[in-house]
Amino acid sequence: MSIELGHFALVLSFALALVQMTVPIVGAKLRNDTLMRVGEPAALTNFMLVALSFTALTFAYVQSDFSVLNVWENSHSAKPLLYKITGTWGNHEGSMLLWVLILVFFGALVAVFGRNLPLSLRANVLGVQGAISCAFIIFILATSNPFARLDPAPMEGRDLNPILQDIGLAVHPPLLYLGYVGFSVAFSFAIAALIEGRLDAAWARWVRPWTLAAWIFLTGGIAMGSYWAYYELGWGGFWFWDPVENASLLPWLGGTALLHSALVMEKRSALKIWTVLLAILTFSLSLLGTFLVRSGVLTSVHAFATDPTRGVFILGILVLFIGGSLALFAWRAGTLTAGGLFQPISREGALVLNNLILTTATATVLIGTLYPLLIEAVTGDKISVGAPFFNLTFGPLILPLLVVVPFGPLLAWKRGDLWAVSQRLFLAFGGGLAVALLVFILVDRTSVLAALGTGLGVWLVLGALTDLVIKSGLGKVAPAVAFGRFKGLPRSVFGTALAHAGIGLTTIGIISVTTLETERITAMQPGETVEIHGYNLRFESLRPFTGPNYTEDQARFVLTRVTGKAMGEVMSAKRFYTARQMPTTEAGIRTIGLSQLYVSLGDQTPNGKIVVRIWWKPMVTLIWLGSLIMMIGGTVSLLDRRLRVGAPMPRGKAAAQGARA
Amino acid sequence: MTRKQKRLAVIAGAIGFLGAATGLTLYALGEQTSYFYVPGDLAERPVGVGERIRLGGLVERGSIQRSDDTHVRFAVTDGIETVAVRYNGILPDLFREEQGVVTEGAFDQNRIFVADTVLAKHDENYMPREVADSLKEKGVWQED
């Protein structure tokens, strides 16, 4: 019964989305306040309806109601409760419903926090949000209905894909979707600005917190996905340049560029048209990502339950929204006034450089990702573009950006002094150079990349610290005064420093793991020992174990330093999920400092040994710790009073003065 | 420098960067992409020794031979032709006889395909699209 209620709520929300999409926009055109005000209750009700619908589906999963086709296909009564709940979105239909839930959630947020927006702007923004919801709700209802019934109801379900039976499923898709879909707000604002033909600094003040929020979630979603794939797949990689991964990286790169260009627009009223275009492109990349992931047109290692026939529908939505918005942009961008001018050597100039490099890097990733589709359409040949392509293009393009990042926040607006900034960064540069030399001399004399990359990361971290030191005047004024100034710095300054330091840490992690990791593959039997990176790993025993819905062979390893110091145990397993007859590898991971030892089991050899693959992954945790610090930086910045979601005006001149410090 | 010269310098710099990026991308697309083959394609479009390709098909029944160390040999077939493959490492969990597989690597002198990557799939119902398309073309595999 409740499942029909959920279905009905979704149908209702579609009808309501039609209203939300048309009435407020028409109202804004006719300057009719009553019509414009329809957007707000429509958005709120829509959220409640989709939430009801989603709850109904989750309820069916928790109850293991196998009379629902979707539940039967993806659940099992013996599954732990957490995986019953997360299983709701561990399949195509449910994950699209989650997508829509988050979309209408953002619509409701705009309705709640947007009370102080100009009425017509709010009406148009909510109207565009309504249009997007409309397209995706009809997609679910027409092609991917999660509420379809099954008669007669089977006794037992077919279980969730074992790879997805993990805490990662509880965190990764919601975070990723909050990021993807969060960019829809910036998109709706851009479209609304184009419809109205009006764009001012207040617009940028509005768009930036929403973009920042989406960016924080997307950063978390990508990092979490990366870590999940790292420990779950058992082949120890953190990034494969797989199409599905690229699909999430593209809006992240676009969103990062948007964050920086919105800053210029807010502070200096420049780059207006460019910012609008970026807002459109970023969400377009999110839509493209959704299409690539859901349609399975590109072969991916992360493909789950894809369906090319339904992909055509999403492709239609994609063409409609991207084509429509770009056409609107081409038609209306001329009506927006262009922004002010500035010197090339200035904060604005640095942010433009950031945008140039980020969008170029985005374009290369986009080309590399879509090139196989293009070639197949044109010549019929099937090709694959893999990691070597991206390492060769994305790497050299993004490295110069990382080198210049510390300069940006230290340059003044309008006209900066590059020489003075270089002098201030002298210590940070020296620190980076010293670390690079140390790595080269003490760690690895064969890899110049390892030394330079680590040095680059340290330069980024120290450069971010330098920014804080300079802005608080430490060393120039009395320590107490400096501390006072430090406490008084705008939160966004801390946010910037944290995010840039986070990028530095992630860089160190990526570089050291790709250049310095060591690996052993060997066939072992209990009692044998293998040595890796100054540690001895002894294969202790292999025992069977039975879990709730799987059986496994657990291998127990004892880790000691070569010097003899005991380091505890590492467990690694080969698991077999009975319902799906599917094996998985449960990697054994031991974190030592910032590095990790990673043990993965393979097949048995004819003489009864087991193939064991062991990696030493130096500094690998920094990849995700750095992302976490980027997220914290974003959050700190979001809490800046001047940026508070919905702040319609800067808080007087005093705040504006502080911003320039 | 006058304002105009400065602006020109900035534009020239940006165009230079974009040009470098374009050049790099075109070069990399030419050098770093690999073509997809099923065994039956190899007769019409021969592949040289050492040339990197992706080879896909079904793992032939009874062809998997494990050695006492970490080397594995198996055969990839499209129902018409068969290619012997050698691989050193841990195979993906869902690697099975008569299942779709995509391997990446190159042929050695003895026309044995030395794979350095065997693509894992997360879903037992999932067939790599290239493999499915090629097998359908050759009439070997029907959708169920």
Q: Is residue A317 part of a domain?
A: yes
- How many C-beta atoms lie closer than 10 Å to residue A454's C-beta? 26
**DSSP one-letter string for B12-35:** HHHHHHHHHHHHHHHHHHHHSEEE
Go through A405-440 and write b for each residue having 16 or more CB atoms within 10 A of its CB, e for each that does not.
Answer: bbbbbbbebeebeeeebeebbeebbebbeebbeebb
Residue with tokens 């002298």: A426
What is the band of A648 on the pLDDT scale with cuts at 50, 70, 90? very low
pLDDT of A296 > 50? The answer is: yes
Which amino acid belongs to residue A471?
K
Which residues of chain B have a CB within 8 Å of the CB of A611?
Answer: 70, 90
Which of A301, A600, A609 is facing B119, going by the closest CB pair? A301
ipTM field? 0.83
Predicted model pTM: 0.92
Q: What is the pLDDT of residue A650?
A: 44
A194 domain-assigned: yes
Evaluate if residue A198 carries a pLDDT over 90.
no
What integer pLDDT is reported at residue A465 of this predicted model?
A: 94
Q: Give residue A602's pLDDT band: very low, low, confident or very high (50, 70, 90).
A: confident
**Which residues are A596's β-sheet partners?**
A591, A617
In whole angstroms, give the CA distance from residue A464 to residue A53.
46
- Cα distance between residue B126 and residue B102, in whole Å: 12
| B18 to A611: CB separation less than 8 angstroms, yes or no | no
Q: Choose one of A404, A422, A441: the last residue of a domain.
A: A404
Query: Is position A535 within any domain?
Result: yes
Statement to judge: residues A157 and A277 lie in one domain: no
Q: Of residues B102 and A258, which shows the higher confidence score?
A: A258
A404 touches B: beta carbon within 8 Å: no
Residue A251: CB partners within 8 Å, gap ≥ 6? A179, A180, A183, A218, A282, A283, A285, A286, A289
Distance CA A222, CA A242 (A): 13
In a domain, A636, yes or no: no
Q: Average pLDDT for residues A391-405, to the nearest whole number?
A: 93
- Residue A308's pLDDT band (boundaries 50, 70, 90)? low
Chain-chain contact of A301 with B28 (C-beta, under 8 angstroms): no
pLDDT at A161: 83
In a domain, A155, yes or no: yes
Grade residue A661 by pLDDT with cuts at 50, 70 and 90. very low
Within an 8 Å CB–CB cutoff, is residue A563 touching chain B? no
Rounded Cα distance between A228 and A171, Å, is 10
Cβ within 8 Å, pair B94-A602: no
Lowest mean pLDDT among A39-48, A125-134, A346-355: A346-355
Please state the domain extents for chain B: 1-33, 35-137
More confident call, A163 vs A575 = A575
Residue A641 placed within a domain: no
Q: What is the DSSP letter of A149?
A: B
Strands A595-604 and A588-592: antiparallel
Hey, is the C-beta of A602 within 8 angstroms of any chain B C-beta? yes
**A14 alpha-carbon distance from chain centroid:** 28
Q: Are residues A419 and A399 in the same domain?
A: no
Q: Are A160 and A170 part of one and the same domain? A: no
- Count of structural domains, chain A: 4
Selecting from B9, B27, B36 the residue whose C-beta is nearest the C-beta of A383 gives: B36
Is A603 in Cβ contact with B89 (below 8 Å)? no
Residues A438 and A472 grouped into a single domain: yes
Torsion, CA A614, CA A619, CA A623, CA A626, rounded to 10: 160
Token pair, residue A243, equals 């199409």
For residues A156 and A173, membership in a common domain is answered with: no
With CA atoms as reference, the chain B residue closest to A234 would be B92
Q: Using CA coordinates, name the residue in chain B closest to A391.
A: B28
- Residues A369 and A363: beta-carbon distance below 8 Å: no
Q: What are phi and psi of A141, to 5 degrees?
A: -65, -40
**Is A291's pLDDT higher than 50?**
yes
Cβ within 8 Å, pair B36-A296: no
Q: What is the mean pLDDT of the segment spanning A638-654?
A: 55
Q: Give the closest-approach CA distance of A63 to chain B in angstroms.
A: 25
Read off the CATH number of the domain in which A133 is found.
1.20.120
Residues A68 and A171 grouped into a single domain: no
Q: Does A609 touch chain B (CB under 8 A)?
A: yes
Structure tokens at A77: 């009564």
Determine the structural domain holding residue A557 and report its residue range: 518-617
Our CA-based measurement puts residue A266 at a distance from the nearest CA of chain B, in whole angstroms, of 23
The rounded Cα B123 to chain-centroid distance in angstroms is 19
Residue among A235, A382, A523 whose CB faces B69 most closely: A523
**To which CATH superfamily is domain B35-137 assigned?**
Nucleic acid-binding proteins (2.40.50.140)
Of chain A residues 611-650, which have a CB less than 8 A from chain B? 611, 613
Residue A523 lies in a domain: yes
Q: Does the beta-carbon distance from B119 to A389 stay under 8 Å?
A: no
Relative to beta strand B53-59, strand B100-107 is antiparallel
The alpha carbon of residue B93 and the mean position of all alpha carbons in its chain are separated, in whole angstroms, by 19
